[in-house]
Structure 1
Amino acid sequence: MKIALIGYGKMGRAIEEIALGRGHSIVLRTSIDNLEENTVENIRKADVAIEFTGPESAYGNIRLCLDAGVPLVSGSTGWLDKYEEIRQYCLSSGGTFLYASNFSVGVNIFFELNKRLAELMAPHPDYEVRLTEVHHTEKKDAPSGTAISLAEQILGKMPRKKKWVNQASDSQDELSIVSERVDPAPGTHMVRYHSAIDDIEIIHTAHNRKGFATGAVLAAEYIRDKKGIFQMKDVLGF
């Protein structure tokens, strides 16, 4: 499989290592240093594009790949206010798009645990829930895309929580997400239910980027010959 890497930073290099190890080839690598090569013509040399850039460039990169007609995997965060627009554009153009806030197999299992735990805890208002996420200081967005996904899952299962906020809050209808930025920290996410009697916590801690990179390559392999909108739960068969 021929892959275009849109974003060739630390994640791009980690994805490259995994992809080459699985017998794939990289036909395009673009970053802030060679933006002139980020063209429809060059992207069309690939079977699949994998996009990991920043909040300010993700939307444009995604549109470019869809315009090229190349199946796209994106893990960029901070642009999701335009997700529905991209979704509709992909569907209307007969494209292929898979977005995930986190490609790690472990995190996606963690997502399933989070939804089930929130469902079990919903009838018990004595337990207050809070999210904490810890990342390295180079991460540009806060809260993380993974933390937002966790929060949205909880909101979907717990009617007493109306919205999430990126700060500590004592409001009964707000779900707090506390974001910490320290080095080195590939990523830790904790969901904690606290009561006067006891606490229940689930925690995922990444040790390196390999899990994210492996999941992104698995996603690219999955969507290569498909059309439509997909998620990591499709890739993993959840």
Structure 2
Amino acid sequence: MVLPYHILFKMKIGLLGYGKMGKVIERIATDRGHEIVAKINRNDDKNELLKADVVIEFSAPESVIKNLKYCINNELSTVCGTTGWNDSIKEIYSLLEAKNGALVHASNFSLGVNIFFELNKKLAAMMNQFDEYNVHLKEIHHTEKKDAPSGTAITVAEGIMENTTYSKWHLGDSNKQESLGIEALREHDVKGTHIVTYNSPVDQIEITHTAHSRDGFALGAVIAAEWIEGKKGVYGMKEVLGL
């Protein structure tokens, strides 16, 4: 599939969270012909977002629920890249249904990562029949990332759990019989690395995704904003990218 660089319409986009990711999204969105009509940080007036066709939300775990409720209650189609709010998903989904809203949310908007998600599921299904292999999951991010493990790592773990006998995951590098360990490391200026390893006494199989910059995440978020325009419901990047 070839993703379009040139688009046929211009959107008014509001940025809810204007940190490092917000600035990259702004650059890519304007390069694609869109207009940024609001740049909102924690203490700014959110009503500026009412000018937007779509809101792209990249804030922080402690702010995301309040932000999503504002957007849903004000009938703003939203793309959410903030992670760390899994415990509130049912509440947000119920509000979306009641308000007939539109949301794309994903633990990672990168095209490469979403391909990695699908590859991870297929590999897990293949490896599940070989008891001699133990699976290990590691994620590495920058020291400013607040949630651990990353939302991307949790999505990877869920893909493994869907296709194996693991029933849950835990933070740590040890494997328990029913629980998949996720090792979370924080290092300076790492954009995001996720590694799935299958070890046996005689060999090792490994798949890795390494992000070189934030551009891939930002481009995916803008493509999701273009895609959600005019739609209703809850979607992920699998639907956006047709994977």
Provide Cα deviations, 1:124-156, integer angstroms capped at 9, x if missing partner.
121110100000000001000000000011111
TM-score (norm 2): 0.94
AA at the equivalent of 1:57: S
Partner of 1:209: 214
Conservation of the 8 A alpha-carbon contact between 2:135 and 2:196:
yes
Gap regions ≥5 residues in structure 1: none
Partner of 2:40: 30
Conservation of the 8 A alpha-carbon contact between 1:105 and 1:215:
yes
Q: Distance in 1 between matches of 2:174 and 2:201?
A: 18
Q: CA deviation at 1:9?
A: 0.1
Pairs within 5 Å for 1:147-226: 147-159=153-165, 161-226=166-231
Q: Distance in 2 between matches of 1:158 and 1:167?
A: 19
Q: Distance in 1 between matches of 2:57 and 2:20?
A: 12
Conservation of the 8 A alpha-carbon contact between 1:4 and 1:28:
yes
AA at the equivalent of 1:83: I
Conservation of the 8 A alpha-carbon contact between 2:136 and 2:175:
no
Partner of 1:139: 145
| Number of equivalent positions | 233
**1:46 pairs with 48, 52, 60, which one?**
52
Conservation of the 8 A alpha-carbon contact between 2:57 and 2:79:
yes
Provide Cα deviations, 1:81-102, integer angstroms capped at 9, x if missing partner.
1012111210121100110000
Partner of 2:100: 94
Conservation of the 8 A alpha-carbon contact between 1:44 and 1:69:
no
Q: Distance in 2 between matches of 1:132 and 1:200?
A: 14
Partner of 2:79: 73
AA at the equivalent of 2:129: P
Q: Distance in 2 between matches of 1:137 and 1:74?
A: 22
Q: Distance in 2 between matches of 1:174 and 1:124?
A: 17
Q: Distance in 1 between matches of 2:222 and 2:90?
A: 24
Q: CA deviation at 1:38?
A: 1.5
Q: CA deviation at 1:180?
A: 0.5
Conservation of the 8 A alpha-carbon contact between 2:139 and 2:182:
yes
AA at the equivalent of 2:46: N
AA at the equivalent of 2:206: E
Provide Cα deviations, 1:9-49, integer angstroms capped at 9, x if missing partner.
000000000000000000010113xx24113xx22210000
Q: Distance in 2 between matches of 1:167 and 1:214?
A: 32
TM-score (norm 1): 0.96
Does 1:117 pair with 2:123?
A: yes
Partner of 1:58: 64
**1:8 pairs with 18, 38, 42, which one?**
18
Note the aligned Cα RMSD (angstroms). Answer: 0.9
Matched-pair identity in %: 51
AA at the equivalent of 1:127: Y
Moved over 2 A (4+): none
Partner of 1:235: 240
